[in-house]
Chain A
């Protein structure tokens, strides 16, 4: 961007620039769609990470790419299996200052029976 564009605010893009930007956005989505293997990999990485802490329903996990508010977003829906979730809070060694959080944490989830499948 030249100094003049800088003063006057953002310059209006040329049709060529516009085409390139639109193309880039379209390609991000195309590439994810034609590459389901990558999404599968991300999904399994996510599940490995999450299931260390939560008991999730792996059959109903959904992961997809969406474009919202000018951002490409990876959206994941990860249903939790059990109504009662308990997990170990285990801060790494270098955070010894936060002693208050060490120990076992249990979260009680109130279940609404009708909303369950």
Chain B
């Protein structure tokens, strides 16, 4: 299988890039793909904590790039999934410790080992962002349905296209369907109309994400979580499966809620067992 390098970026900070990278990466690995998630936010290491791997780090991305260690030595194997690996960011280094050429070479090296390489981009539009997209085949933009985030996303879309990359796809994160229905915030359709890109997924606002983050366990493992299922669906779409976009319209029926409570969750439960 051709290896795919996918960068997750946003412009604005704090909209859910790292959460998206961790969860889509985990979901792809749950489906049996060999996945590397790369934290390219040098100086602000985060992805390791969301995956619960923060105390296993020995070497990091900058060490690999500078030749202090081999790529395999720096890759951290996930606790739960045999085919998921993390390449952590350097914590004590400057953002400009790595250049675009080095980053592109690193992507090439990772391609040889993995089906999917997911790169978690830092916020902003400076060198760190450019490094994150330089080796990517595809770009995923994460945005929240609010003005500042969508505006930055638009800016990023322009920069991604100027860099000669294909049109990015959008993960709309932290949607509050009830508020959108009341007209108190922008709706999915509004954001899509304004940005004019394809939708990869809609992730609802979900308190369970905070709990999951605290436990160091990606939300896709939590079968009662709608955000978890949304990330799983996004991963399935990345693999080319047709999954209906029902994340918004779907209001869980009482029966369904009960069912999930007792643990007869749909798709996810089975997939977890199979892996």
A positions within 8 Å CB-CB of B: 14-17, 19-20, 22-24, 26-27, 30-31, 34-35
In Å, the complex CA distance between A66 and B254 comes to 53
In Å, the complex CA distance between A35 and B99 comes to 25
Interface flag for B244 (CB, 8 Å): no
B positions within 8 Å CB-CB of A: 146-147, 150-151, 154-155, 158-159, 180, 182-187, 190, 193-194
In Å, the complex CA distance between A62 and B149 comes to 32
> Which residues of A lie under 8 Å from residue B146 when comparing CB positions?
19
How many inter-chain contacts with C-beta < 8 Å in the A-B complex?
44
What would be 16 A-B contacts, judged by CB atoms less than 8 Å apart?
A: A14-B184, A16-B187, A16-B190, A19-B146, A19-B186, A20-B190, A20-B193, A22-B147, A23-B147, A23-B194, A24-B194, A30-B151, A30-B154, A30-B155, A34-B155, A34-B159
Q: Is the CB of B147 within 8 A of A26?
A: yes
Q: Is the CB of B154 within 8 A of A16?
A: no
Which of A19, A26, A30, A35 has the most chain B CB within a 10 Å cutoff?
A19
| A13 CB, nearest partner CB in chain B, Å | 8
The 4 residue pairs across chains A and B that have the minimum distance between CB atoms: A14-B183, A20-B190, A16-B183, A16-B186
In Å, the complex CA distance between A103 and B156 comes to 54
> Which residues of A lie under 8 Å from residue B159 when comparing CB positions?
34
**Residue on B with the closest CB to A34?**
B158
In Å, the complex CA distance between A34 and B180 comes to 30
| B190 CB, nearest partner CB in chain A, Å | 5
In Å, the complex CA distance between A30 and B125 comes to 14
Q: Is the CB of B158 within 8 A of A23?
A: no
> Which residues of B lie under 8 Å from residue A16 when comparing CB positions?
180, 183-187, 190
In Å, the complex CA distance between A28 and B193 comes to 14
| B260 CB, nearest partner CB in chain A, Å | 29
| A40 CB, nearest partner CB in chain B, Å | 15
**Residue on B with the closest CB to A23?**
B147
Which of A15, A20, A35 has the most chain B CB within a 10 Å cutoff?
A20
> Which residues of A lie under 8 Å from residue B187 when comparing CB positions?
16
Q: Could you say which of B147, B158, B182 contacts A19, with CB atoms under 8 Å apart?
A: B147
In Å, the complex CA distance between A88 and B187 comes to 56
Name 4 extra pairs, CB < 8 A, besides A20-B190, A27-B154.
Answer: A19-B147, A22-B147, A23-B147, A34-B159
